[in-house]
Amino acid sequence: MTTPPALPRRRGRRPAWAGRNYVLLTAAAIATNLGSHGALIAAAFAVIENGGDAGDVGLVAAARTVPLVLFLLVGGAVADRLPRHRVMVAANALNCVSQAAFAVLVLSGDAVLWQMMVLTALGGAGQAFFNPAAEGMLLSSVTGEQASRAFALFRMAMHGAAIGGAALGGAMIAAIGPGWVLAVDAAMFAVAGALRAFLDVSHIAPRPPGGGLLSDMREGWTEVRTRPWLWAVVAQFSVVVAVVGAAEGVYGPLVARDELGGARPWGLALAAFGAGTVLGALLMMRWKPRRLLLAGSLCVFPLAAPSAALAVPLSVEWLALVMLVSGVAIEVFGVTWMTALHQEIPEDMLSRVSSYDWFGSVAMLPVATALAGPAENAMGRGPALWTCSALVLLVTALVLLVPDVRNLRHRPTGAGSTGSTGPGESVEPAGPGEFVEPAEQPAALPAERPASS
């Protein structure tokens, strides 16, 4: 009897762009988002439970962002020079150690402000090297027509984990205190670092010898300043991130304590924001706006709403609804922004351009968070929150005056980060509201914003 030839094993249903790197990056982002979104709430309440006020909460938040700002540009140059996955793993290790020490400090009951600031600063330094490497790794690992769909799915998984992390973190803080939430975050950094150690960087061509860090940073700056759409949006988000960070990172926990009932309802509000980002990612799995940055920038306007909701303040239910809508909106921006970078920026410049993007976005955050307390003392919490809301509306309206922001168009035939348009060159505009339906997903395609550290 003749034995029939073995049938080939059927491959899984996973699309081919979800290759090994993509799966590892997504799994690691899920792990860290489960821990970090609870830890963000835990850090603020750790300060408050140790007798801190708005100014102290702002100082701890600023302590994280100061080294982030100082080392971001160096981090981008390093990530374009060294294997990106090694930079990511080293950063995760530093974050793990600093969060573990923070947890021990809080659980011991002997935490003082300067110690919390030092440990938070170490975490910020790790983030400065991690963020450009992670964004460059993800952008360089995605190819072909389905790039925006891949980004949307990655972000959906990342933000889905944030929903559980924020809600679980708020509940854990109320039940057992912030120290254990910080300990869980440290463990998640260890898991993520182990996963990222297996990333494959063989598809990235080695950098030729020559030059140095300063030369690399100058090249990155040239890439940014010669593209008006790029520097305009980076400038916009330097203000948006600063005021939203002050509103939600400093005033939000205080409003929750004084008006909403504590950490649990604030965790639920942040979880609603995470749910909105998942819904936004689902939308972007199907919708490809032709004018990438016009669609994205219009969706920044709703980010003014949470500050206004806290200023009133609205009930927990209405606040959660506002956060949900703003989550949908910012996810539309996030996917369009990543698609624009992937389409326009050469692969060997991705981490350096990402570092300038991150630098511009967080440069004013330490100032805003540090001044949040004095601003509340000077004008009151309500007027300070209304000011945050007004600034988001103003800078978003201004960025729409830049022609390249309005006209940069998605190129359906793009096949990755080729940087094929010249510096400052606009692409042919499409009509307002026009969109392109994504191509039918084939059975097999080639393999893989910044992943959370």
DSSP codes of every residue in 112-164: -HHHHHHHHHHHHHHHHHHHHHHHHHHHHT--STTHHHHHHHHHHHHHHHHHH
**pLDDT at res. 439:** 29
**pLDDT at res. 44:** 76
10, pLDDT greater than 50: no
Average pLDDT of span 99-124: 83
d(CA 401, CA 232): 10
Question: Sign of torsion, CA 147 148 150 154?
Answer: positive
Contact criterion met (CB below 8 Å) for 248 and 311:
no
Contact criterion met (CB below 8 Å) for 449 and 337:
yes
Kindly report, residue by residue over 51-66, the tens digit of the pLDDT: 677 677 777 777 777 7
pTM metric for this prediction: 0.69
Kindly report, residue by residue over 225-239, the tens digit of the pLDDT: 889 999 899 999 989
208, pLDDT greater than 70: no
The token duo for 54 is 């708005």
**pLDDT at res. 111:** 75
Tell which residue, 276, 324, 303, 250, has the closest CA to residue 159.
276
Kindly report, residue by residue over 126-165, the tens digit of the pLDDT: 888 887 887 777 777 776 666 677 788 788 887 777 777 7
Confidence of residue 9 (pLDDT cuts 50, 70, 90): very low
d(CA 321, CA 453): 28
Identity of the amino acid at 360: G
Using a 10 angstrom Cβ sphere, with 0-12 exposed, 13-18 middle and 19 or more buried, the burial of residue 273 is buried
Average pLDDT of span 305-324: 89
Placement of tokens 């990402």 in the chain:
354
Average pLDDT of span 44-53: 74
**pLDDT at res. 446:** 26
d(CA 24, CA 388): 37
**Which phi-psi region, left, alpha or beta, contains residue 345 (left: φ > 0; alpha: ψ -120 to 50)?**
beta
d(CA 337, CA 206): 26
Tell which residue, 339, 341, 344, 300, has the closest CA to residue 435.
339
Kindly report, residue by residue over 391-420, the tens digit of the pLDDT: 999 999 999 999 988 888 877 644 334 443
**pLDDT at res. 20:** 75
Decide: helix, strand or coil at residue 11: coil
